[in-house]
Homo-oligomer: A and B are copies of this chain.
Amino acid sequence: TIIHLFKQIFKAGLELQEDDHSKALLVSRVKKAENTIVDVNGAKFGDGNPHYIFGPCAVESYEQVAQVAEQIKNKGLKIIRGGAFKPRTSPYDFQGLGFEGLEILKRVADEYGLAVVSEIVSPADVEKAAEYLDVIQIGARNMQNFELLKAAGEVNKPIVLKRGMSATVSDFINAAEYINSRGNGQIILCERGIRTYETSTRNTLDITAVPILKQETHLPVMVDVTHSTGRRDLLIPAAKAALAIGADGIMAEVHPDPAVALSDSQQQMNFDQFDQFISEVVNKKY
């Protein structure tokens, strides 16, 4: 019948349209079939093996960062993270040490042979920050700060791009495209939970976003188990699920003494918990 014919054409049109769209994107798997591999100090995100980024929520002092770096180094890992520019809901919460924090990170990283990841929040700081950092992180609140994305697209440094709190998978992919369209294709996508009505966790870890992102793009995808759950007791189970579903890496927060941390004290691991995480997740053979 005519109606049936119309429906077939309609479906074909729909698929055509979708194809058009994803073909256009540089980050799309349609554009490039093989995985992009982002090499951070020898940790090759996207090579099929899991890689890890640990460190304190915020840089508080040289000693604090050095203590964590020692733990990371001893476990044979290669990357440390720490926040120097902290986007905080209230202007009266601790805002981070800024460039002083980046200097601490760099000094420690050099001493321990680690690569450094830290969040940058202002387009004007990107170029200068690139001197201190091995990887620039763009946080969830800035996922659609397009000026920052453009600036990140113009440096020659790997970028960890976190998913916005209410970003769809499609919004997220387009945010990555902003970076790639300016020339920088070294992008690691990071699922970190989305905002839903559920309150038993800080956010809802959208675990199936991992295989979807890996299907639709050629970029490595990691999972931040700290911010997605907001609960120390869920870090290990969430990390296991993330690896099982195909994540290329895990990010989690570690602090020498979480109880006195200047931010996120409820969700960072202490060193004993870090040891447990290493033995149950990182060193586990599957």
Contacts and interface: CB of A to CB of B under 8 A. Distances in A.
A257 interface: no
Contacts of A146: 87-88, 91, 121, 141
Interface stretch (A33-41, A49-57, A73-81, A168-176): A168-176
Contact of A245 (B88, B144, B171, B240): B240
Interface in A79-124: 87-92, 121-124
B211 A237 contact: yes
Nearest to A125: B147
Nearest to A93: B174
B244 A240 contact: yes
A13 B238 CA distance: 30
A13 B242 CA distance: 36
A26 to B, nearest CB: 10
Interface string A140-183: 01101111100000000000000001101111001001100100
A207 B238 CA distance: 8
Nearest to A92: B24
Interface stretch (A63-71, A191-199, A260-268, A271-279): A191-199
Contacts of A259: none
A200 B152 CA distance: 27
- The complex is assembled from copies of this chain, and their number is 4
Nearest to A213: B200
A246 B244 CA distance: 12
Contacts of A241: 207-208, 241-242, 244-245
Contacts of A61: none
Contacts of A174: 89-91
Interface in A24-46: 24
A243 B237 CA distance: 10
A98 to B, nearest CB: 11
A121 B121 CA distance: 13
Contacts of A201: 208, 212
Most buried by B among A87, A122, A245: A245
Nearest to A20: B3
Nearest to A214: B237
Given A90-B177, A208-B229, A215-B233, 13 more contacts: A6-B9, A9-B9, A9-B10, A10-B13, A89-B170, A122-B123, A141-B145, A141-B146, A165-B166, A197-B197, A204-B204, A205-B208, A208-B234
Listed from nearest, the 7 A-B pairs whose CB atoms lie closest are A10-B13, A166-B166, A244-B244, A141-B144, A241-B245, A241-B241, A240-B244
